[in-house]
Structure 1
Amino acid sequence: MLSPDELALLEAIRDSGSLSRAAARLGKAPSTVSHAARQLEERFDALLFDRRRYRLQLTPAGQLLAHEAARLMLDVSRLTRRVKQVAGGWEDRLWIVTDEILEFETLLPVIRSFDKLQSGVTVRITHEVLGGTWDALRDGRADLVVGATNEPPVIPGLRWFELGVMEWVFAVSPRHPLARAREPLSRETVLEHRSVVVADTSRRVDARGYGLLGGQSSLAVPSMRAKIQAQHEGLGVGWLPRQRIAGLLKRGELVERKTDDPREPNTLYVAWRGDHQGRALEWWLEQFRQERLARRLVQGIDTVL
């Protein structure tokens, strides 16, 4: 490993092309710089400086040494910061998994606020669907899950609180046959038409989709926004978050239909495992406990297509 002075010497010679200019840059006598350069070569038993030309240059071995030494020093500096960070109670990284039903845009102000803390914590945000969200916490692929649906499963050390309640509306395109069918729509009538579903990302055998009836044909799509788009285009039917499509309903681009079997609102949860709780996790939990943010997350952003 090179000392900071030795790395500075290599970089000064590489950039200036002469001992005298390198010495001036370093604020040292040329003889001192020349002696240090020869000591460095003796230490590594390698020719590091090409002195055959008018312009002094690093040899390939010298270039490698300068590059790798700079990289190693940067790594050591980063490691030092990370060690101090963890010693101060901050995690090295925080992995947050949101259910896809929540929109990433609603988290942007929270991320900006967290950045202002300058904690050094690396935040990773990914999403899953339905049971896949709980799986991420169970399998160690998440430190914190947000917007998980259904009752919390049995997970060692699980801790949770309710984020809020999401209301649903059965909606179809005004061009879809169900837009003109007699209300309330019977289960049998709905079964005759394809449902658009956001497929469960759980790897377990009981994985399912949003609002899919047994025996009903389906179109599986990757996100709730895609589901809204597909139903808007008349490609299928299904339940959609009321707040997310409020504008589309108001403009008549989607039509609400009453059914014989209305869907109950979903309670959304924030959950984590209590065996480790650093300052970053505590900070994020405090944000999600705030009613204003929770309401914004659950209601989402009115979809514009």
Structure 2
Amino acid sequence: MLSPNELALLEAIRDSGSLSRAAARLGKAPSSVSHAARQLEERFDALLFDRRRYRLQLTPAGQLLADEAGRLMQDVNRLTQRVQQVASGWEDRLHIVSDEILEFELMAPLIQAFDKLDSGVALRFTHEVLGGTWEALREGRADLIVGATNEPQTMPNLQWAELGAMEWLFAVSPNHPLAKMKTPLRQDQIQQHRAVVVADTARAAGARGYGRVGGQATLAVPSMRAKILAQRDGLGVGWVPRYRAASLLARGELVEKATETPREPNLLYLAWRGDHEGRALQWWLERLRQPQMAAALMRGVDGFR
């Protein structure tokens, strides 16, 4: 490992191409710089400087040493910052997993506000679906989960809070056979047609789906957007968040149908592990639990306008 002074010497010679200019840049006498250069070559037992030409240049070995030493110096500086960051209560990184039912766009204002803290905490956002969201927290792949559905699961040191309730409607394409049937639709009528579901991302637990009648054929898709589009195109039927289908309903590209068994609103949750509460996690919990932000998450974004 090079010292900062040795790295500065290599960079000064590389950039200036002259012993005298390198000395002036470093604020040292040329003889002192020349002596330091020879000591460096003796230390590595390699020719680092090409003195045969008019311009003093680094040899390939010297260039390699300068490049790699510079990279290592940056790594050391970054490591020092990270150590100081963690020592002051900030996490090194924060992994936030949201259920796919919530759009990432809603997090953008919070990320911008968090960046202004200049905490150094690296953020990572990923999506999961249904049981996969809880599983990410249980298996340590998430520090915070947002928008998790179903009741909080049993796991060590689990902390949770209700985020809000999401409303649903049963939607079909205007060209689908159910669109012309009298309402409320019966379960046996719905069962005759394929349901579109968002695939559960849980790895260990059995996959689940919402709004599916027992024995009903299914089309599993990777996202809520894909589900809404599939239902718009008549590939199946099912329940969708009311806010996300608003513009399609207004344009008549989807039709809302009443059912004999309405779907209750889903409670969505925030959850985290109580034994890992750093300053970044606390900041995010405080912002996400504000009523205005929670309401925005429940309303969401209509991506079909």
SS class of match (1:90): coil
Within a 5 Å distance, the mapping from 1:81-96 to structure 2 comes to 81-96=81-96
Q: Residues of 1 paired with 2:204 and 2:191: CA distance?
A: 25
1:210 aligns with 2:210: yes
* Ranges in structure 2 where 5+ consecutive residues have no aligned partner: none
Is 1:115 equivalent to 2:115 in the alignment? yes
In the TM superposition, 1:164-203 aligns within 5 A as 164-203=164-203
- Segment of structure 1 superposing worse, 111-120 or 211-220: 211-220
* Letter paired with 1:100: E
Q: State TM-score, norm by structure 2.
A: 0.97
Percentage of pairs with the same residue: 73
CA contact (8 A) 2:85 2:92 kept: yes
Q: Write the letter of the residue equivalent to 2:254.
A: L
CA–CA separation in structure 2 for the residues paired with 1:300 and 1:90: 30
Contact 1:186 1:259 in 2 (8 A): yes
Kindly report which structure 2 residues correspond to 1:138-149, keeping only aligned pairs within 5 A, or say none.
Answer: 138-149=138-149
CA distance in 2, matches of 1:66, 1:155: 50
Which residues of 2 match residues 241-280 of structure 1 at below 5 A? 241-280=241-280
How many angstroms apart in 1 are the aligned matches of 2:24 and 2:211?
Answer: 74
Q: Which residue of 1 aligns with 2:104?
A: 104
Deviation digits for residues 81-140 of structure 1 (CA, Å, limit 9, x no counterpart)? 111100100000111100000000011000100001000001111010000000001111
Counterpart residue type for residue 114 of structure 1: F
Q: Does 2:38 match 1:47?
A: no
Q: Is 1:293 the counterpart of 2:268 in the alignment?
A: no
Asked whether the equivalents of residues 199 and 210 of structure 1 are also in contact (C-alpha less than 8 Å), the reply is no
Contact 1:248 / 1:303 at 8 angstroms: preserved in 2?
no
8 A contact 2:14–2:58 mirrored in 1: yes
Unpaired runs of at least 5, structure 1: none
Q: Is the 8 A contact 2:93 2:123 kept in 1?
A: yes
Amino acid at match of 2:80: T
Whole-angstrom CA distance in 1 between matches of 2:265 and 2:102: 15
Classify the secondary structure of the residue corresponding to 1:272: strand
Cα deviations across residues 194-234 of structure 1 (Å, max 9, x unaligned)?
Answer: 11110110123432123222221111111111111111111
Distance in 2 (CA, whole Å) between partners of 1:263 and 1:148 is 17
- Structure 2 Cα separation of the partners of residues 233 and 292 of structure 1: 34
Give CA-to-partner distance per residue, 1:130-165, whole Å, 9 cap, x none.
000000011111110000000011111111010000
TM, length-normalised to structure 1: 0.97
> What is the identity, as a one-letter code, of the residue corresponding to 2:46?
A
2:132 aligned with 1:132: yes
SS at 1:178 equivalent: helix
Of the structure 1 ranges 276-285 and 253-262, higher mean CA displacement relative to structure 2 is found in 253-262
CA contact (8 A) 1:160 1:271 kept: yes
Residue 275 of structure 1 aligns with an amino acid whose one-letter code is D
* Count of residue pairs brought into register by the alignment: 305
Moved more, 118-127 or 18-27: 18-27
Residue 23 of structure 1: aligned partner: 23
* Matching residue's letter, 2:4: P
Three-state SS of the structure 2 residue aligned to 1:96 is strand
Contact 2:131/2:205 (<8 A) preserved: no
Match of 1:61 in 2: 61
SS at the partner of 2:214? coil
User: C-alpha distance in 1, partners of 2:227/2:293?
Assistant: 24
Q: Determine the C-alpha separation between the residues in 2 that align with 1:171 and 1:245.
A: 9
- When structure 1 is superposed on structure 2, of 209-218 and 82-91 the one drifting more is 209-218
Please give the alpha-carbon distance, in whole angstroms, between the structure 1 residues aligned to 2:10 and 2:280. Answer: 40
RMSD: 1.2
Deviates more, 1:132-141 or 1:206-215: 206-215
Say which SS state the counterpart of residue 161 (structure 2) adopts: strand
Counterpart of 1:14 in structure 2 is 14
